[in-house]
Amino acid sequence: MTAQPEVRFDALDDTDPTLSPDDYKAVFRGHPAGVAVVALHDEATGRPVGFTATSVISVSAEPPLLAFSLAATSSSWAAVQRARTLTFSFLAHHQDDVSARFATSGIDRFAAGGWSVLPTGEPVIDGALSWVRGRILQRVPVGSSFLVSVEALSSSVRRPTECAHRDGLDTPSPLVYHDRTYHRLGDHSAL
């Protein structure tokens, strides 16, 4: 058995300055992120719930864990708080309209269609590059948000030929969000 690394947290001195919310946001506007739609079936309402997330991260491959953050004030929080399972649909470069729709408040985000239901009941976005279905393990309050950890149970990854689109790309290209603008990765951006 291997020893676990020691985790140490140093207490901050009360006189240490903190970063302003605007300065913090400026840092992350310069950090590109993949775009996913997190979705679930809300048993309390009988309706699907979903939202755009650029905070999805891979945590561990063994066991397969991922996580995302969600503001406590989000209209989706109550449903996420009740949910046992959910899905992550990782969007393709041509799905910026889907991302914008699932980021818009006060609308039925599913009304325009473009989604399917898994046999287990959770919604996934049609045309996404991949999806992961997972079981929620933890909801940890952190600042004004919750960090939600999820164990991956199943997934689907589209073959490159399935992802070719109107732009003539031969390989799948993820939707990326950077500095308040959508982008795509491809041969043109490779170093």
Q: What mean pLDDT is predicted for residues 61-76?
A: 97
Give residue limits of the domains in the chain: 32-189
Closest CA to 105 of 146, 50, 142, 54: 50
- Phi, psi values for residue 137, rounded to 5°: -100, -45
pLDDT tens-digit map of 156-180: 998 765 555 444 555 678 999 999 8
Of all helices (H) and strands (E), which one includes residue 133?
strand 130-142
**Distance of alpha carbon 151 from alpha carbon 161, whole angstroms:** 29
| Fold observed for domain 32-189 | Pnp Oxidase; Chain A (2.30.110)
Q: The tokens 């719930």 sit on which residue?
A: 49
Where is average pLDDT lowest: 86-90, 136-140, 152-156, 177-181? Answer: 177-181
pLDDT tens-digit map of 105-148: 999 999 999 999 999 999 999 999 999 999 999 999 999 999 99
- Does residue 9 have a pLDDT over 80? no
- Does residue 8 have a pLDDT over 80? no
pLDDT band, very low/low/confident/very high, at 18 (cuts 50, 70, 90): confident
Query: What's the mean pLDDT when you consider all of the chain?
Result: 89
pTM of the model: 0.85
Residue 114 pLDDT: 97
